[in-house]
Each structure stands twice: as C-alpha cells, then as structure tokens.
Amino acid sequence: MSNRIVSAARVPRRVRFFGRILQFLLAAGVPLGPNRLVTIRGRKSGLPRTTAVAVIEISGRRWVWAPWGEVNWVRNLRAAGRATIKMRDGKEEVIATELDQTQRVGFFRDVLGPLARGIPFGIWFVRIADGVDLARPLEVAEGRRVFELHPLRAAGDPGTTGPATTDTTSG
C-alpha cells in the first residue's frame, strides 16, 4: 500500500454554486430528476455529511459517480462503505461498492452512455455540466469514481445482506 497522500479534487466553482442550490431544493422536497441527497459519515470527524448527487437507476440497479474524481464525498463513502439516500418517500440505507477500472469502463459504456443518449440533450448535458465525453469510456473511467449502491437489509430479512454483483457487462 502506498503512503502517498492524495488531496481531494477541486470541484469547479460553478458546480459548487449550483450544488448548494440543488441541495436546498432537494431538502425542500422539490423533485429534480435523478438527483438525491446522500448522507455519508465523515471519514475524519464521524459526523454525517450531506451532498446532492445523481443516483443513476437502471433495471433495479443503482450507481453514483463523481465526475470530479477524488472529492470529499467519494473519500467519505469509500471509508464508510454505506450511506443514506433521501428520497421523496423517505430514506434508504445502502451499502456502496466501489467499481474498479474495468467495471467503470463498463458503467460509462453500457449504463451511463446509453442512458444519456436516450435523453434529449443528455450527451450534451454530461459533456458541458460534468466535463465528460461519454464517447470515450476508457478515458472517462480514468480518475473518476463510481459506486454501485445496494439496499442494506435489516437483520432477519430473508434477503441477502451483501451487495449484488457489480458486473455491468452482463444482462
């Protein structure tokens, strides 16, 4: 394991500005597409930290991704391994599994790319807002973090408690 300290990525000023507005609107209950409030325990303080992120949901599977790389919520989610997602109808506890490089390429190629192409101006929006060219999934996956989210089931629930597979190339 490396002793190298990686500093948090710097999110562009425009994204931080609109992120605060987005967070306010979501907290007020305004529906804003796939955007949700995600609360993650801080890796240093242990205090809950809430941020607005897009939760990508397709065929019952869910992911969050960080267009700006190693931002603080990514580092917190990696350390905590779980989060709480606030939705219009309540909250859900989830376990987060970080995708490796190969799985991230699959996510951008097979999940986010087709989703964005299916939405009017979707590819354009991702390119402008997130600075990502989904036509180049190998390049996009480099340095960007993706987590698959799995429901955290209560003790006694007949379902499994662990995450499902993160293979984005199947089915």
- What is the number of residues in the chain? 171
Torsion of CA 57, 83, 75, 167, to 10 degrees: -40
The predicted-structure confidence for 73-122, as pLDDT tens digits, reads as follows 999 999 999 999 998 778 999 999 999 999 999 999 999 999 999 989 98
Number of neighbours of residue 158 by Cβ within 10 angstroms: 5
Domain ranges for the chain: 13-151
How large is the average pLDDT for residues 26-42?
91
Confidence (pLDDT) at 155: 53
CB-based contact 68:11 (threshold 8 Å):
yes
Give per-residue burial for 25-44: e unless 16+ CB within 10 Å, then b. ebeeeeeeeebbbbbbbeee
Residue type at 70 in one-letter notation:
E
Query: How far apart, in Å, are the Cα atoms of 51 and each of 16, 23, 57, 84?
Result: 11, 7, 18, 11
**What's the CATH number for 13-151?**
2.30.110.10
> Against a cut of 0.95, is the pTM above it?
no
Choose among 125, 111, 123, 122: nearest CA to 166: 111
